[in-house]
Structure formats: C-alpha cells, structure tokens
C-alpha cells in the first residue's frame, strides 16, 4: 500500500448523488424556517438516544444530554497505538480528570487494523475501558471507522515522531474503493455488534467518522445499513462533519446525527451553529450532537493554506464553553488530554489542543473552569508544551512556554 494519502480519492464536492437529495433539500429548508425551540422541546426527543449518566454540572446540557470530550491518551498518535499500548492505570487516571470537569461522556476511536492483528486483545482492553468508565459514571461513544488521516501502512501505524505521526484512515483506501474487499470490515462490524449492540455503557455506536469522498461515503452507507440490520438497543450514529453530511445517512439507519464546528470564526457563528443544531433536532426528530468543538478562531480555521495568527494555535475552550453549556445540545470537545493536533494539516500550523497534562496540571485554569462550570476549579496551571512534543514548536519557531503576557 502507498505511504501517502490516496490522491485518487474524490473530494466531498465530487460525491455522487445520494437518493436522499430531495429530502435533504426539504429538511434544510424546514430547519431554516423554524423558530426558536425551548429546552423542554429538545429534551422530548427520543430519550433512548439522548440520555447519559448525569454530570454534576449546572446547565441544561449537562443535566440530561451527553457532555463530554474526545479521549485519546496523551502519547497515542493514532487509534491503533491507543489500543496497542493500552494501560489501565493511565485510563483510570485520565477518567478522574474527566470527572473533575463534570463530564459524563467520552468519544473514542477503535481500530479495525488493531482488531485484525489481535481481536482478543482489543476486546479485553475495551472491556476494561468500558468497565472503568461505568465505574465513574461516564458513557462511551465508540467510533468504528475513520475518514480522516493517512493510509494505515505499517510505517504510519508505528510512527511516533511529533512532526510526522498522524491519525489513520480506516480501513485503507484500496479496501474502501473496492466493495469486493469489504468482507473484512463487515466481519469486524459483526464482531462489534455481536458483543456490544445491547451494551448499556454505550451512549451510541458511531459507525463512521467523516466519510469524505464518494468511495468512503458509499462504504460508510453500506456499513451503516449492515449495522442497522443487526441493531440492538444501542443507537447508531454517523460522525458527520456538518449537518448535510450527517443527514445523508438517515435512510441508512442513523439514529443520532453529528456536526463538527471545531474552529468557528466568531461568537455569532457559535450561536448560529447551536441554533441550527436545535432546529435540526426538532425538524428531523432525531438527536443532533456537536461532537467536535475546540475554540473560536477569528483569523481563520487553520484548515487551508493560511497560517494562524497570534496565539490562535493554543487551546481556548473558554471562548465557546459557556455558550455550549447554556444550550440543550449534546457535545464533545477535542480533547481531554493536552496533545498536538491529531491531523497533520493542523499540526503543521502549531495547533495544540486539550486540557490536562499527564500529571494533572492544566494548560489553562480559565478553560477548565469554563468547561466544568466550576468557577473555583483548582489545579496547577502550566501553559507549556509537553516535553515529548517540543519538536513541533521548535520546528515552527514557537515558544515552548507562554509568559505572563500570554496568560488568560
């Protein structure tokens, strides 16, 4: 397999027509036409798909809806490494961090590639993870397949260099592009559904994250339909980057939709996204969760060729958290642990995200307090790059530690 992302994959704008096009157009128009909806109306959506163990927060979002974080151990550079090097003690430590922020849910990536190598080990480690989460009152949103990253070659799987290690596409593009090779992913999906489709510790089952391109969209739709045929009590979800991408999977069996406004440009943009999310829930009569959010970036999202200005590379959850906490919307921020950006496009611009260092110190007390809603949250504040990741700021001429002038 190639050691680079397959350039043959068509972009999202080249996606083939989906049978739901007329429905999508009508639904979008309906959402736009709706007025405001109350927290009570949003809470009346299918409770089977919205309830999670209650957090101790002080807003509508944390009383009855998932309020959580993306969880990847600090030093795991991809999902394969997360499960390959799984450490139960580290997991329990990190779960204590999550509960200190009053979180009640975590979104985590599984690994088809690691399952191929050792399905028994994955099941054993996942069992420990789910049990540990349940013990502290946290539900889990597992992601089975991934539409972002680089090809899962042996070299990419093992890569742990801060400048080159990356998230992994899963499965590999040659498999996705040839339906005759889908028997392996189907077997993996069957394995997961057989063991976990009725697991009360799951918030839902996310079949695919961000299925970009026509080929990966077709693959994700097929996997969703297969999962729906074998569904249990756990809801099925799709990790849509936006509402349009998520809505295309409703007919295939998606119960919970998602949207990923990682880096909105303004307070108004955040409010608009939250409003549209609530409107979509009411119009579609399905939960819609904001499952990836990070910070406001007034100078641009960082996904294009334009660089980041000022301190917009660093975490700033306080720019969004109060608005998210105030709305009846399920949400997950990226990420619990302080880590260099998951994807190389962001890491090359110096993006750092997360709340906790491995020793329990936080990058920003202001962020931790905004996320938790606890104005007296206490921890050591250390706005410094982890030693094991300092090759990134050094390569970009960035400060390793922020001085007083940078403090929040």
pLDDT in tens, 326-356: 999 999 999 999 999 999 999 999 999 999 9
pLDDT digits (tens, 9 = 90+) for 285-316: 999 999 999 999 999 999 998 899 999 999 99
Q: What is the pLDDT of residue 63?
A: 56
Q: What is the pLDDT of residue 401?
A: 87
By the 8 A CB rule, do 20 and 248 touch?
yes
Phi-psi region of 322 (alpha: psi -120 to 50; beta: other; left: phi over 0): alpha
- pLDDT: which is higher, 272 or 403: 272
pLDDT digits (tens, 9 = 90+) for 229-238: 999 999 999 9
What is the average pLDDT across 122-131? 98
Q: What are the C-alpha distances in Å from 405 to residues 299, 311, 383, 384?
A: 20, 11, 12, 14
- pLDDT: which is higher, 45 or 77: 77
Q: Is the pLDDT of residue 35 over 80?
A: no
pLDDT digits (tens, 9 = 90+) for 235-275: 999 999 999 999 999 999 999 999 999 999 999 999 999 99
Query: What whole-number distance in Å separates Cα of residue 54 and Cα of residue 401?
Result: 36
Query: What whole-number distance in Å separates Cα of residue 165 and Cα of residue 144?
Result: 20
What is the average pLDDT across 121-133? 98
Q: What is the pLDDT of residue 37?
A: 31
- List, in sequence order, every residue forming a beta bridge with 131; answer none if it has no partner: none
Q: What is the pLDDT of residue 64?
A: 78
Residue 286 token pair: 């399905």
Q: Return all residues near 203 (Cβ < 8 A) that are at least 6 apart.
A: 52, 66, 105, 139, 140, 141, 235
Q: Which of 72, 85, 68, 74 is nearest to 357 (CA)?
A: 74
Domain range 12-406, CATH class:
alpha beta
Q: What is the pLDDT of residue 20?
A: 37
Q: What is the mean pLDDT of the chain?
A: 87
- Compute the chain's Rg from CA coordinates: 20
Distance from chain centroid for Cα 80? 16
Q: What are the C-alpha distances in Å from 54 to residues 71, 87, 157?
A: 19, 27, 36
What is the average pLDDT across 370-375? 97
By the 8 A CB rule, do 105 and 67 touch?
yes
What is the average pLDDT across 108-126? 98
């Amino acid at each position: 397999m190639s050691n680079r992302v397959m350039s043959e994959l068509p972009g999202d704008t080249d996606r083939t027509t989906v049978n739901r096009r007329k429905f999508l157009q009508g639904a979008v128009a309906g959402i736009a036409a709706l007025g405001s909806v109350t927290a009570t109306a949003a809470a009346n959506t299918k409770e089977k798909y919205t309830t999670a163990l209650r957090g101790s927060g002080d807003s509508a979002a944390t009383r009855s809806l998932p309020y959580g974080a993306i969880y990847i151990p600090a030093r795991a550079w991809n999902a394969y490494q997360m499960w390959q090097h799984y450490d139960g003690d580290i997991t329990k430590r990190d779960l204590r961090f999550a509960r200190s922020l009053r979180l009640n849910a975590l979104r985590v990536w599984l690994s088809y590639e690691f399952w191929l190598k050792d399905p028994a080990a994955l099941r054993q480690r996942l069992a420990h993870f789910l049990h540990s989460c349940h013990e502290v009152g946290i539900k889990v949103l597992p992601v089975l397949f991934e539409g972002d990253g680089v090809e899962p070659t042996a070299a990419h799987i093992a890569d742990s260099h801060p400048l080159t290690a990356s998230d992994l596409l899963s499965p590999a593009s040659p498999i996705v592009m040839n339906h005759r090779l889908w028997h392996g992913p189907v077997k993996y999906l069957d394995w997961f559904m057989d063991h976990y489709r009725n697991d009360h510790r799951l918030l839902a089952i996310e079949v695919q994250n961000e299925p970009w391109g026509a080929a990966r969209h077709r693959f994700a739709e097929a996997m969703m339909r297969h999962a729906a045929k074998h569904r249990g009590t756990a809801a099925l979800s799709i990790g849509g980057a936006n509402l349009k991408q998520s809505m295309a999977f409703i007919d295939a069996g998606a119960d919970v939709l998602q949207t990923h406004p990682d880096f909105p440009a303004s307070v108004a943009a955040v409010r608009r996204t939250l409003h549209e999310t609530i409107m979509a829930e009411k119009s579609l009569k399905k939960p819609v969760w904001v499952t990836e959010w990070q910070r406001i970036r007034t100078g641009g999202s960082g996904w294009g060729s334009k660089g980041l200005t000022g301190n917009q590379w660093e975490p700033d959850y306080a720019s969004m958290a109060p608005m998210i906490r105030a709305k009846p919307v399920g949400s997950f921020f990226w990420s619990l642990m302080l880590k260099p950006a998951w994807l190389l496009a962001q890491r090359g611009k110096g993006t750092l995200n997360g709340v906790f260092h491995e020793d329990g110190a936080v990058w920003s007390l202001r962020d931790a307090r905004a996320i938790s809603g606890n104005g007296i949250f206490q921890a050591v504040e250390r706005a410094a790059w982890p030693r094991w990741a300092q090759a990134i700021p050094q390569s970009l001429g960035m400060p390793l530690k922020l001085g007083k002038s940078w403090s929040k």
